[in-house]
A and B are shown apart, each in its own frame.
Chain A
């Protein structure tokens, strides 16, 4: 299946707005269908973008690039080319029929690009505000008089361009365009003063004429002390390098790992996989160390020994360097397991007295300790290396500082403390003593502003109001680094799937950074499906990881010098290339994965609404914070008023739960994004952890009282929401749980689903969603007084619906804080859903009354299919039964051969699971009726 519905619709959409012409569309379609096999993302991505006024859009796209790459699907580089890039390309191919059109395309594209990068120059921060203000003003104006197309242009302008100033080329752009870009460039300055206006155009041009690809050498220090070098595209994103390293290491469970920038020795800075490397590392040569980023709380749950081996190597480094403090006994014990793993059984002849002193087990290793190590080594006779590693980890994981990432800070009274970020939350230390602890469920918001780091804490039983606790970090970079680490840890350990990165809401200055990789839940599910013979790997002796006391990369010795030399030679200006799109491809995949999963997890309305209920409950807080934030930013005075208006709306909406929820959604999908883009220099960043949990996580966490309480509360709210909003959905849900294989072939996947994470609930949920959309539409209207031409009509899910759908996102709302009350683009779609269902399955499913042990969902995507796998474990009469349900969604446009696609999908599924039976086939058709946009 090669048809790429996503881009198709996207194009359509855009062209609609621009008075599309069919020829062009056709061309693009053709181009894309070949280039771009992975499908669903673009859809949602595009879809995401288009509805809420082009501009804000792009924010979401970079994230969607983060999708997980499926190793099997390699079909050449082209698949990695992000849609925006392709789009541009195809437009170019089609020929510039309409200047304006083209411009819009490009600007949108640029926007995408800009967001991806980080802006590495902190000095420019102050300046940026001024620019931003201007930019936002500018945007406002534009918004005021022309909401549709120009809006997007203007916002694109405000996006700082990422191009290197080196890459300047001749501009072939109209005067008008140039002028606009001037404005945009002001925003740009904030990231780097060197950036030229021309860069923007440059990108456009460069896309027309792909250049030779420039590469830079890059070295990565591995955990066993060896180093690998790669030649990387100059504009490669972190993910590319990381994937290469993992490939080199033969590592599949790679989500626990990351690359550390070598720039900063005293504190780890992680390479963001979603961003271009050159945006993150200032100095050449590019040097990285491969490290464990998220320490698995229970290493025995890792699937592969090789993963445990790398974790062991990391811990040995941590211990030898003193970063992971241990007692004497533990040092000795861990050392003895290291010996067992690396040398095998103790052999009195081979292992003379000195063999041990070549190893380092502790920062201060004594003779006594070495004797103890030998003594213990003798007792491990018979343990295989893998068993010895496991024992090592079983002991290491119990260390109190295992997996704690420490950051220097001062408390409000200026006392030196350490902030430790770990799987469970944030720990506060004063001289090794734990003086406070904030579990993730207790934290409502994490933010930073300049060099201050704040956490907002849920009120305890006695207190009425939540409190905000501030810490002073050594500098602004440290504050941001800590904030990012917190965001990542929270997401990784607590969430089911990553959040969408923030679209910059109107006037938001903060960082939009979000963790884009897989969460622990996802990676566990993924690795549970790993099916390969245990890979052979050689355990290199930790002797070579020798005696570095500072924990700096070790074992480089001989290569180090030459490495630096290499770099000196090869560094040079690089030309343009499209290569970075490769990472875009990865990214997209990953992201879609996440969203998909989310979607499927929220299959039952209860679950989804649970979250919504919760978010609505937090609405007012959020608003309040927003105001505070504004006060701090002098430059935004002009626009503040508008903001307030929005807040007002939001607050009003929050008065009833239902309204609150909906307006929240509203806000998340419709908030108009503006100029701010992420940069290293951002002065502020906010993150509101919300706690989504899978069924199995719920179980897991039930020890935590508060957690459970919270959930119950949420669940209650969720149910209420169900009642109020969508009482008729139960049927659908039930149906769902019975489905074991489901193939959906929508014709023209019209972008009814937009940015939200929930979008990926997919066509199977179409009915449900549409109803929700309708509902939302209505309430939207109420709340925000938007003129909506289409009268909402509620569709009963049992009838083949003809839906006029407004493009509203059903997205998790906690992360967004504003609503935009204007610009609700509307698309009418006609939807037909035909369901074929094999009846006998009902019975079997119905009889399945067992005790649910766990339920997992995992999603993978390829070409135009999205496969959602549900694994449920139940206990029935003492027999545990694992049941795998696969839902395959095929998305394509009219040209697609449904039957063939369907047959193919079923065949593939059958190959994987021969016992599988197809229980339901849904053909879902959507046709666009008209576009309603003012």
Chain B
């Protein structure tokens, strides 16, 4: 059980370049009010990958863009990885299911135990799955249904898998993420508050919560470097000025701002732009 002790430790990151078709097709359903600045998207992607590689020291596996798959840069939606196991999801949008094959190949190359959702009735988006280091929460949302959540439970049997109803167009991780093994960052919207309440009710564990004023700012990437170096990748102050302060309260954290304004227009988050893998599992 590579559980709590290795939470936040990674060796590899899987990312995928943003295709030019991104923004052209409304892959995620909700029509963006503003058009995508493709150049900006590429720029932000470049910065993001640079942080993973240089600041976090991860071995980055970069997949080439596929123009047929406009949303394919959001790799976090198509797989859930914990320990030595990778679960390939079954995204709600049928068009996105074609993204899976290339990710599957990578996971197999990394010698993960790969599990695929075979249930035709199941839908599961990786962005609806929150792993806290101790347990899973799966948002039952527009994107993910109960049978999809069951797949998570079937795959990661060591852990409790609890379901959290999420209303509206959000994914569970649209408004929350982990800032460490015991800390949940949560947005301030009603949906976020309600989900947090549900999670608190369902868990045997006590999590500290770090509330940020803006929901999107609540999705961060937590990485642990070495023994105690905690790094938090978060949305920059220029995007969400009010959300910086709460992060600064985290003791001994290295805060790294990163922007993802363009992919965010299609539901993307910092977390969904990469898949993090730990190949050095301390069993």
Contacts and interface: CB of A to CB of B under 8 A. Distances in A.
A424 interface: yes
Interface of A is mostly: mixed
Given A328-B85, A329-B84, A376-B283, A431 B158 contact: no
B106 to A, nearest CB: 20
A400 B85 contact: no
A330 interface: yes
A327 B156 contact: yes
Contacts of B153: 431-433
A399 interface: yes
Interface stretch (A172-180, A434-442, A560-568): A434-442
Nearest to B84: A329
A641 interface: no
Contact of B1 (A329, A424, A437, A704): A329
B14 interface: no
A475 B221 CA distance: 49
A171 to B, nearest CB: 58
A329 B163 contact: no
A222 B158 CA distance: 27
B283 A333 contact: yes
A734 B1 CA distance: 49
B203 interface: yes
| Chain B interface category by residue count | 20 to 34
Given A432-B150, A435-B163, A424 B158 contact: no
A430 interface: yes
A333 B1 contact: yes
A327 B85 contact: yes
A326 B163 contact: no
A398 B150 contact: no
Nearest to B137: A434
A326 B156 CA distance: 8
Contact of A433 (B3, B113, B146): B146
Given A328-B113, A333-B1, A395-B1, A434 B157 contact: no
Interface in B130-154: 135, 138, 146, 149-150, 153-154
Nearest to A423: B204
Contacts of A437: 162, 201-204
A705 B200 CA distance: 11
A337 to B, nearest CB: 11
A344 interface: no
B230 to A, nearest CB: 21
A145 interface: no
Given A424-B204, A433-B163, A436-B201, A330 B1 contact: yes
A705 B158 CA distance: 26
Contact of B162 (A328, A330, A434, A703): A434
Contacts of B206: 703-705
B83 interface: yes
Nearest to B83: A329
A325 B146 contact: no
A857 B69 CA distance: 67
A329 B150 contact: no
A426 to B, nearest CB: 12
B196 to A, nearest CB: 13
Contacts of A703: 206
Interface residues of A, number: 24
Contact of B158 (A330, A430, A435, A704): A330
A105 B206 CA distance: 55
A434 B202 contact: yes
B209 to A, nearest CB: 11
A326 B162 contact: no
B160 A434 contact: yes
B250 interface: no
Nearest to A379: B283
A433 B162 contact: yes
B92 interface: no
B105 to A, nearest CB: 20
Interface in A740-765: none
B98 to A, nearest CB: 28
B2 interface: yes
B240 interface: no
A333 B161 CA distance: 21
B247 interface: no
B204 A399 contact: no
B253 interface: no
A329 B202 contact: no
Interface in B175-234: 201-204, 206
B134 to A, nearest CB: 8
Nearest to A334: B1
B150 A433 contact: yes
A437 B158 CA distance: 18
Contacts of A424: 204
Interface centre among B83, B146, B150, B153 (most CB of A within 10 A): B153
Contacts of B162: 433-435, 437
Contacts of B84: 328-329
B201 A398 contact: no
B198 to A, nearest CB: 9
Contacts of A430: 146
Nearest to B153: A432
Contacts of A330: 1, 157-158
Nearest to A333: B283
Contacts of B204: 424, 437
A461 to B, nearest CB: 9
Nearest to A428: B202
B84, B138, B283, most chain A CB atoms within 10 A: B283
A703 B161 CA distance: 22
Given A376-B283, A424-B204, A435-B162, A326 B157 contact: yes
A326 B85 CA distance: 13
B201 to A, nearest CB: 6
B161 A434 contact: yes
Given A431-B150, A432-B153, A326 B158 contact: yes
Contacts of B159: 400
A182 B135 CA distance: 60
Interface in B1-57: 1-3
A452 B157 CA distance: 30
A884 B281 CA distance: 45
Nearest to B204: A424
Interface of B: 1-3, 83-85, 113, 135, 138, 146, 149-150, 153-154, 156-163, 201-204, 206, 281, 283
7 contacts: A329-B2, A400-B158, A433-B149, A433-B161, A435-B163, A437-B162, A703-B206
Nearest 8 pairs of A and B residues by beta carbon: A400-B160, A432-B153, A434-B162, A325-B157, A327-B158, A327-B157, A703-B206, A437-B202
